[in-house]
């Protein structure tokens, strides 16, 4: 942590032995013991952290206002037993938090006694005073932008305040081995307010995201000193809090008996987790001069590129058509492996021929209409097989090194999108 000359002295008192001089150690002589993690009852949360809460870690939970950060943290606090937890709120009153806690615990643990303490305070000096008295085993700060330290003159939420308060909490976490969770609001452009400064100060950055109008929320590790940064947890926002979703594919696939046109399933990856998602396309003659193109949950520019490929390479006349695309469940998909599923959905709607609901796709599509390989193909195939799919289309170039006899699911390979269309639509 860089301390500017003349900068405020951090409040946390046992500030370590400053006269200690560090000496270089040979790397093979350095020993360490595996941190014993605190495994919470929320398995999605543990997964994102890399296996549980690390003692003394400082974790930032970022997300847009209203997405459910306070709910997530309060719910976690209520679930953790055996230790005192201090929930510091600078945003809501005790009464509001109590009401939320009741809403959360109504179904699971009615009126059970627990070790959660609420403190409505924004001065770090006062917070540390209370911490000394209470000696909590975990501290939640809701939110870092509301705190202020007496050592800095600027207003709460300003860069220097956010930095100073985080530094004080960091010191506290490290000196006492107490895990500290900081909630931080992120601005529309995606940066956690008090720019990127926080991200490099803390051990772990988790992003809580989702579409507020949909029920699914994704908790994503953006940075993690104690685990992989490609993990993610999935929740469903319900009336009584967040429910863990351990099998995301099941909720992302709509239940349907009849075969409908314009619908396909793609085996995609979110971080390292394979999941199957549904894409819906609607292609219809344009009623007005300029055709409409709109995509929800998918990059519109990429959709336009795929449409251009279909037009130019396969001769489909789509330029006078409206094209609408929708990814089910309110997810935003960035994995290029959904390309093939998307173009098949478009052609299925255009030609009015349904694709079997037992068929899925996992391949990228290139500018010349080639079907390209994607990463972790085994995981995608295994997930599709697990969910009862009977056929998966992948790139021919993904076949190398793949033991096809291992799978029950039929694996179709293609090098050009025409091959896929011929196979599906004749």
Helix 339-351 and helix 300-314, axial crossing angle in degrees, nearest 10: 60
Q: Which CB, 243 or 396, lies closer to ligand TYD?
A: 243
Q: Tell whether residue 207 is a contact of ligand TYD (CB under 6 A).
A: no
Instruction: Give CA torsion, residues 166, 169, 173, 176, to 10 deg.
Output: 160
Q: Tell whether residue 240 is a contact of ligand TYD (CB under 6 A).
A: yes
* Residue 70 marked ligand-binding: yes
Q: How far is the CB of 184 from ligand TYD (least distance, A)?
A: 10
Of 94-123, binders to ligand TYD (CB under 6 A) are: 100, 103-104
- Phi first, then psi: what are they for 235, rounded to 5°? -130, 160
Q: Tell whether residue 416 is a contact of ligand TYD (CB under 6 A).
A: no
Rg (CA), the chain: 26
**Which residues in this chain contact Mg ion in the complex, by CB under 5 A?**
70
Q: Which stretch binds ligand TYD (CB under 6 A): 236-244, 288-296, 382-390, 408-416?
A: 236-244
Whole-number Å distance between alpha carbons of 197 and 170: 13
Q: How far is the CB of 44 from ligand TYD (least distance, A)?
A: 16
Question: Quick one: tokens of 306?
Answer: 């795929």
Q: Which CB, 74 or 327, lies closer to ligand TYD?
A: 74
Coil vs helix vs strand at 115: coil
Residue 276's binding partner among ligand TYD, Mg ion, none (Cβ under 5 to 8 angstroms by kind) is: none
Binds ligand TYD (CB under 6 A): choice among 10, 68, 341, 369: 68
* CA distance readout (Å), 299 to 166, 295, 334: 36, 7, 8
* Contact (Cβ atoms closer than 8 angstroms) between residue 204 and residue 49: yes
Q: Tell whether residue 237 is a contact of ligand TYD (CB under 6 A).
A: yes
* Residue 68 marked ligand-binding: yes
Using a 10 angstrom Cβ sphere, with 0-12 exposed, 13-18 middle and 19 or more buried, the burial of residue 272 is exposed
- Phi first, then psi: what are they for 211, rounded to 5°? -95, 125
* Contact (Cβ atoms closer than 8 angstroms) between residue 48 and residue 233: yes
* Residue 110 marked ligand-binding: no
Q: Tell whether residue 89 is a contact of ligand TYD (CB under 6 A).
A: no
Binds ligand TYD (CB under 6 A): choice among 41, 65, 190, 195: 65
Using CB under 6 A as the binding criterion, the count of chain residues that bind ligand TYD stands at: 15
Q: Residues comprising the binding site for ATP? A: 63-70
Where does this chain bind ligand TYD (CB under 6 A)?
63, 65-71, 100, 103-104, 237, 239-241
> Could you tell me which residues are annotated as the binding site?
63-70
């Amino acid at each position: 942590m860089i301390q500017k000359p003349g900068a405020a002295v951090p409040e946390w008192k046992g500030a370590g032995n400053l006269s200690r001089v560090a000496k270089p150690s040979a790397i093979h002589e350095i020993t360490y013991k595996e941190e014993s993690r605190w495994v919470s009852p929320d398995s999605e949360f543990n997964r994102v952290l890399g296996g549980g809460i690390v003692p003394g870690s400082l974790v930032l939970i970022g997300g847009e206002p209203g997405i459910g950060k306070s709910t997530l943290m309060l719910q976690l606090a209520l679930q953790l037993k055996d230790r005192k937890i201090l929930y510091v709120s600078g945003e809501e009153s005790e009464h509001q938090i109590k009401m939320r806690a009741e809403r959360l615990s109504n179904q699971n643990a009615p009126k059970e006694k627990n070790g959660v303490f609420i403190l409505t305070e924004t001065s770090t000096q006062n917070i540390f005073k209370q911490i000394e008295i209470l000696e909590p085993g975990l501290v939640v700060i809701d939110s870092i932008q509301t705190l202020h330290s007496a050592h800095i003159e600027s207003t709460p939420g300003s860069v220097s305040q956010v930095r100073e308060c985080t530094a004080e909490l960091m010191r506290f976490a490290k000196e006492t081995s107490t895990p500290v969770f900081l909630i931080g609001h992120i601005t529309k452009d995606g940066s956690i307010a008090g720019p990127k400064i926080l991200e490099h100060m803390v051990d772990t950055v988790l992003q809580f995201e989702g579409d507020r109008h949909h029920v699914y929320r994704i908790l994503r590790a953006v940075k993690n000193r104690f685990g992989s940064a490609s993990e993610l947890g999935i929740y469903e926002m319900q009336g009584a809090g967040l429910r863990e979703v351990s099998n995301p594919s099941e909720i992302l696939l709509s239940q349907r008996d009849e075969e409908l046109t314009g619908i396909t399933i793609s085996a995609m990856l979110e971080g390292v987790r394979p999941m199957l998602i549904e894409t819906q396309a609607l292609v219809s003659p344009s009623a007005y001069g300029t055709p409409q193109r709109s995509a929800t949950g998918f990059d519109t520019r990429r959709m336009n590129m795929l449409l251009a490929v279909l037009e130019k390479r396969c001769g489909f006349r789509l330029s006078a058509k409206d094209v609408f695309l929708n990814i089910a469940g309110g997810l935003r998909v960035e994995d290029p492996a959904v390309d093939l599923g998307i173009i098949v959905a478009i052609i299925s709607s255009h030609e009015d021929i349904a694709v079997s609901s037992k068929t899925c796709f996992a391949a990228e599509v290139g500018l010349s209409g080639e079907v390209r390989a994607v990463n972790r193909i085994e995981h995608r195939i295994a997930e599709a097989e697990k969910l009862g799919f009977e056929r998966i289309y992948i790139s021919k170039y993904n076949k190398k090194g793949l033991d096809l006899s291992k799978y029950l699911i039929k694996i179709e390979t293609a090098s050009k999108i025409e091959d896929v269309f011929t196979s599906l639509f004749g």
